[in-house]
């Protein structure tokens, strides 16, 4: 109901996941066999409950009530990594995080990036991928280097939902307009992350406070 334009896609994905056969290997994966499949997944604070399965997820506190979770990505599903997995693999949280970022860097970007450009307002680039990891690309360690030439430095970013990363120039009118759009997309999405905009600098990423 929250995303009527994507209803068919959401239902199809849900049914496909339900129809997958149970896998005896879940929870028994061997690190050397799956380490190349570990990816970071951004989730909002309210996704992580004190009771239920998510309380066991391995998480890293990130920015603005957004957390980094970690998942083993296979062809048709994500299996979130737990603290038990890390102990079973004999790893530290830092080591797993490093591996997840390395795998993120290796992911392909869309051959064509949607966007718009105006002479006085700057430029907007929308990253929309087919791997459910568009928003995770905000964590790419080379993000500023990759896009600062096109957008200026620093530039802004938004992750209203799992499947969208919006990058845009740090211009006042453009920021106000895109911020409204991010809030709208956040409200409509079934996979919300945050309406909070971020500033991407050479030194890192920070939430944008105020106007």
pLDDT of residue 50: 86
Start-to-end C-alpha separation, the chain: 31
CB contact at 8 A, 175 and 199: no
Q: Which of 14, 10, 139, 29 is nearest to 74 (CA)?
A: 29
38 DSSP β-pair partners: 72
- Among the residue ranges 51-55, 160-164, 167-171, the one predicted with the least confidence is 51-55
Angle at 148 between CA 201 and CA 63, to 5 degrees: 35
The pTM assigned to this predicted structure is 0.84
Average of pLDDT values for 193-208? 97
The 10 Å CB-count burial string (b at 16+, else e) for 79-89 is bbbbeebbeeb
Select the highest-mean-pLDDT range: 1-5, 77-81, 195-199. Answer: 195-199
Quick: pLDDT tens for 3-25. Answer: 777 777 667 656 655 544 444 45
pLDDT, mean of residues 139-155: 96
Residue 13 confidence (pLDDT): 57
Statement: residue 118 has pLDDT above 80: no
Q: What percent of the chain has pLDDT over 90?
A: 73
């Amino acid at each position: 109901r929250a995303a009527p334009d994507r209803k068919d896609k959401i239902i199809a994905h849900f049914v496909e996941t339900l129809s997958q056969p149970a896998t005896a290997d879940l929870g028994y994966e061997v690190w050397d066999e799956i380490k190349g499949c570990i990816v970071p997944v951004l989730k909002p604070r309210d996704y992580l409950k004190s009771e239920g399965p998510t309380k066991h997820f391995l998480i890293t506190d990130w920015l603005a009530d957004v957390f980094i979770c970690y998942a083993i990505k296979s062809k048709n599903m994500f299996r979130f990594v737990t603290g038990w997995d890390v102990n079973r693999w004999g790893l530290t949280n830092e080591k797993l995080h490093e591996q997840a970022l390395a795998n993120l860097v290796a992911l392909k970007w869309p051959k064509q990036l949607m966007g718009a450009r105006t002479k006085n307002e700057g430029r907007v680039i929308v990253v929309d991928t087919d791997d459910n990891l568009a928003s995770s690309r905000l964590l790419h360690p080379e993000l500023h280097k990759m896009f600062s030439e096109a957008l200026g430095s620093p530039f802004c970013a938004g992750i209203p939902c799992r499947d969208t990363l919006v990058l845009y120039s740090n211009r006042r009118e453009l920021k106000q307009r895109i911020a409204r759009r991010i809030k709208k997309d956040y409200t409509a999405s079934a996979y919300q992350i945050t309406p909070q905009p971020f500033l991407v600098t050479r030194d890192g990423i920070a939430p944008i406070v105020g106007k």
